[in-house]
């Protein structure tokens, strides 16, 4: 039997039921593991309270995927509230191995997704370890690997839509006719098409089909047969061409320009756009039926301002790529600048900034603030920091309105900062203390007193599911 592993916590369950659940999970191949070493969890609960929600939120911040298992009647459980708090799914416990087998299958699937994720990260195909980015990548991998549904990727310019399309091409297994998918990504930049020749780019043409067509030519639909087709900036496809595109996507058939013979094609479709397609539909420039055909699953890439944790890893990746060696260190002032700078062009703008910095770099020693071009330097020697921001002020304002004292706000803020630092370092006290500029002892004392974990009413067996 293939096994998997997960940590386990029981909130408000009787010791007898907890023992029964653990035994059935073990019989289903779910092996116990420590929470610090496993990213999958199973939380059984009798009631939904703030302690349970806090546990789910804390696990999500640590990039854990958690199954919430209700031991009472499912109809009384606020499932959507659990998902909003961070649970990946919610099940109702049924004795006799039924639920235990469900849990085992889900955990094995998650393990397979994580295996694929670690593969693409180790190959350097994707860069970043922020929660918002990794969660998106996992969802894309799951859809690409376990289904054949068309994928639509939306988001601002420069946020990695084409990178995710390449990921889909890499992990997809087959097309709808059962053939193994070639690891090829055929890309059509719909925004760069000449209106007069756009049909040929998609469908190809026969010799003599139009002035200048001296030879027959395959279009994107032929080239993508058995592979993955990316329609980049799909919102720019001319409205007059959209019915033909729709037919090919829907029926898998098309005609070359100048031909009466129907050709067959079968491909994995990925579309990308930085436009609001629904607004274009309302404006009459994009067909509703085409939208529903391409939007089987929709993913939105986060802007760089929502994943600042990834800025320095991305900068190091670009330095390594451009220098073709291990990247030099960045001095602390430059690191601070990169993290807090605005990037309207997102990751693409960061890449261009690194190129400008390297144009001034002496190729020896660390990269310093003097390597930053004058036009990129903050005006007046200062720059707007990413923190404290409006969200922080709103949180403080809410506490003040609720009558919370300054002492209470300070205590909660301090505990939260320490807890988040420890969680971000995967429980490593030494690294968390270094990040905060305090002693290891200060964090050890807080953890020993229970101040670094949210209080949860539970009986616990650390049942971390391991492979």
Q: List, for residues 282-325, the tens digit of each pLDDT value.
A: 999 999 999 999 999 999 999 999 999 999 999 999 999 999 99
For residue 115, pLDDT beyond 50: yes
CA distance 192 to 237: 10
Residue of 384, 192, 413 whose CA lies nearest to 305: 384
In degrees, rounded to 5, the angle at the alpha carbon of residue 377 between the alpha carbons of residues 373 and 379 is 145
Kindly report, as residue ranges, where domains of CATH 1.10.8.60 are found in the chain. 305-381
pLDDT of residue 329: 92
345 burial type by CB count under 10 A (0-12 exposed, 13-18 middle, 19+ buried): middle
Q: List, for residues 445-466, the tens digit of each pLDDT value.
A: 887 766 665 433 333 333 433 3
Q: Which is the CATH superfamily of the domain at 4-106?
A: Response regulator (3.40.50.2300)
Length of the chain: 467
Compute φ and ψ for 452, nearest 5 degrees: -100, 5
Q: What CATH number should be reported for the domain whose range is 305-381?
A: 1.10.8.60
How far, rounded to the nearest angstrom, does the alpha carbon of residue 162 sit from its chain's CA centroid? 14
Bridge-based pairing of strands 262-264 and 253-255 is: antiparallel
CA distance 220 to 100: 47
Q: What CATH number should be reported for the domain whose range is 131-300?
A: 3.40.50.300
Q: pLDDT-based confidence at 430, cuts 50/70/90?
A: confident
Kindly report, as residue ranges, where domains of CATH 3.40.50.300 are found in the chain. 131-300
CA distance 110 to 40: 8
Handedness of CA 335, 340, 342, 346 (dihedral sign): positive
Kindly report, as residue ranges, where domains of CATH 3.40.50.2300 are found in the chain. 4-106
What is the chain's Cα-based Rg? 26
Whether residue 290 contacts residue 246, with contact meaning beta carbons closer than 8 Å, is answered with yes
How far, rounded to the nearest angstrom, does the alpha carbon of residue 44 sit from its chain's CA centroid? 27
The arithmetic mean of pLDDT across residues 129-146, rounded, is 92
CA distance 153 to 136: 11
Q: pLDDT-based confidence at 426, cuts 50/70/90?
A: low
């Amino acid at each position: 039997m293939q096994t998997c592993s997960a940590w386990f916590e029981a909130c408000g369950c009787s010791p007898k039921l907890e023992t029964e659940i653990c035994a059935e999970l073990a019989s289903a191949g779910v092996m116990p593991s420590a929470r610090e070493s496993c990213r999958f969890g199973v939380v059984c609960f009798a009631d939904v309270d703030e302690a349970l929600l806090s546990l789910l939120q804390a696990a999500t911040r640590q990039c854990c995927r958690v199954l919430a298992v209700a031991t009472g009647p499912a109809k009384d459980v606020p499932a959507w509230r659990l998902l909003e708090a961070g649970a990946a799914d919610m099940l109702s416990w049924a004795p006799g191995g039924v639920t235990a087998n469900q849990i085992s299958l889900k955990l094995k699937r998650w393990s397979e997704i994580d295996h694929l994720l670690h593969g693409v990260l180790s190959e350097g195909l994707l860069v970043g370890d922020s929660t918002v980015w990794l969660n998106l990548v996992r969802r894309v991998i799951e859809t690409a690997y376990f289904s054949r549904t068309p994928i639509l990727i939306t988001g601002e310019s420069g946020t990695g839509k084409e990178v995710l399309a390449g990921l889909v091409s890499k992990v997809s297994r087959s097309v709808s006719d059962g053939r193994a998918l070639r690891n090829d990504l055929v890309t059509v930049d719909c925004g760069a098409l000449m209106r007069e020749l756009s049909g040929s780019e998609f469908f190809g043409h026969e010799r003599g089909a139009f002035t200048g067509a001296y030879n027959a030519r395959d279009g994107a639909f032929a080239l993508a047969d058995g592979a993955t087709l990316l329609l980049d900036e799909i919102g720019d496809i001319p409205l007059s061409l959209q019915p033909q595109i729709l037919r090919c996507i829907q029926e898998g058939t098309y005609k070359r320009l100048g031909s009466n013979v129907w050709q067959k094609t079968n491909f994995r479709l990925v579309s990308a756009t930085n436009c609001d397609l629904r607004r274009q539909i309302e404006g009459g420039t994009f067909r509703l039926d085409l939208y529903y055909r391409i939007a089987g699953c929709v993913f939105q890439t986060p802007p760089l301002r929502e994943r600042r944790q990834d800025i320095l890893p991305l900068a190091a990746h670009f330095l390594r790529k451009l220098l073709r060696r291990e990247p030099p260190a960045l001095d602390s002032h430059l690191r601070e600048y990169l993290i807090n700078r605005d990037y309207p062009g997102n990751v693409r703008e960061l890449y261009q900034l690194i190129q400008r910095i390297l144009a001034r770099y002496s190729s020896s020693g660390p990269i310093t603030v003097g390597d930053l071009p004058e036009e990129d330097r903050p005006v007046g020697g200062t720059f707007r920091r990413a923190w404290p921001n409006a969200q922080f002020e709103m949180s403080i304002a809410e506490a003040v309105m609720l009558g919370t004292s300054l002492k209470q706000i300070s205590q909660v803020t301090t505990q939260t900062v320490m807890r988040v630092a420890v969680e971000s370092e995967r429980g490593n006290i030494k690294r968390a203390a270094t990040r905060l500029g305090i002693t290891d002892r200060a964090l050890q004392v807080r953890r020993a007193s229970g101040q670094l974990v949210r209080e949860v009413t539970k009986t616990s067996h650390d049942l971390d599911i391991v492979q």
